[in-house]
Amino acid sequence: MRHEFEVREEILIPATPEQVWEAISTGPGVDSWFMGQNEIEPRGGGTVTQSLMGNTWTATVTTWEPSKRFIYQGEEQPDGTFMAWDYLIEGREGSSTAVRLVHSGFLGDDWEAQYDALKTGDVIYMRKLLAYLKHFPGRTSTFNTLIPGPQVSDKERVWEAFKGALGVTGSIAEGDRVLLTVDGLPKAEGVVESIGYPAAPTARPPPARGRRRIRPPCASRTAPRWAP
């Protein structure tokens, strides 16, 4: 049996509507704050394609209003489930932009767990969008890494694991300097951008001395991917 759902999130971003549009409606822009590799045909009726961990997922653009509104909907599955993403962009004073996301559709039998994961994931990725446009406007990511982990019900254990990976032993706060250490990857310095307790902290590279680094903000989480 399918279950209807809706998640709403809204943030204020220190960027122009045009910069926000570039970040949410182009493949390189989406790659810089979302997950996987993304391609978007820039028109109503165009195809949105996401490739992640060997899987490919497609959606159709249903509304294409540059710098104003972008809606796309995934293919309906045999059980009637699907998801849709609706971005509304509104310019504000001081070169800032309000971005509202309505994530809706129908979920399957395990809808409660899926809904909880989506509520958590939507917040995390909206924060990543904010961090990307705040610290890295006009630049795009050239390398993305997603490391899936096991599903763990003990949230405190997960939180401590995230802190351990960042080299934090006590409390953690926005602005803290951290050192990400993950087996198989080079160590990376960072600055805590947001806490996100109990899901995951989000960190970004610190300003480089002499020249600025061209690396996107990063975040870790255990919630499953959005695509069905």
Q: How far apart are CA 34 and CA 226, in angstroms?
A: 11
- The two structure tokens encoding residue 153: 């019900």
Global pTM?
A: 0.81
> What average pLDDT does the structure give for the chain?
86
* pLDDT, position 208: 58
* pLDDT, position 38: 95
* pLDDT, position 221: 37
Cα separation values, 60 from 85, 122, 136, 140, 185, Å: 10, 20, 28, 24, 35
Write the pLDDT tens digit of every residue in 46-79: 999 999 888 999 999 999 999 999 999 999 999 9
Q: Where are the alpha helices (DSSP H) in 2-42?
A: 17-25, 27-31
* pLDDT, position 165: 87
* pLDDT, position 80: 94
* pLDDT, position 162: 85
Phi, psi at 150, each rounded to 5°: -70, 155
Write the pLDDT tens digit of every residue in 148-179: 777 777 888 888 888 888 899 888 888 899 99
* pLDDT, position 79: 92
Instruction: Tokens 């699907």: give the residue.
Output: 82
* pLDDT, position 153: 79
Return per-residue pLDDT of the chain as tens, 228 residues.
899 999 999 999 999 999 999 999 999 999 999 988 999 999 999 999 999 888 999 999 999 999 999 999 999 999 999 999 999 999 998 889 999 999 999 999 889 989 998 998 899 899 999 999 999 888 998 877 776 777 777 888 888 888 888 899 888 888 899 998 888 878 989 898 888 776 677 888 887 543 333 333 443 333 333 343
